[in-house]
Amino acid sequence: MITMIVGVITVVGLLVTRMPDGRLPALPATLDLPEGAVAQAITLGPGWIGVVTTDSRMMIFTPDGKFRQELTIQPQNSPSVP
């Protein structure tokens, strides 16, 4: 019984001290995607924002929303299943 109580206190303590404070990262008001591009996923890195589109491209933007780079994502060849 004592072990369970200590375990619960430990878990609660870790959750309280390790959880983020709830602040969201600063994002620009808009990101201008090329004509016809539809965002599928967004990721944040140190000093950049990445937007993956439904047509297998990734657009890299600066934290203030300026376009920086475009990458084409090549689909992985999956082995054929008999």
DSSP string, 29-45: S---PPTT--EEEEEEE
Assess if residue 40 is contained within a domain: yes
Task: Give, for all 82 residues of the chain, the pLDDT tens digit.
Answer: 888 888 888 888 877 777 666 677 778 888 889 888 999 999 999 899 999 999 989 999 999 999 999 999 887 776 665 5
What domain count does the chain have? 1
Q: What is the pLDDT of residue 81?
A: 57
DSSP string, 12-35: HHHHHHHS--SPPPP--S---PPT
In a domain, 41, yes or no: yes
Domain assignment present for residue 63? The answer is yes
Residue 64 lies in a domain: yes
Q: What is the pLDDT of residue 1?
A: 81
pLDDT of residue 51: 95
CATH of the domain at 67: 2.40.10.360
Can you give the residue range of the structural domain that contains 63? 30-75
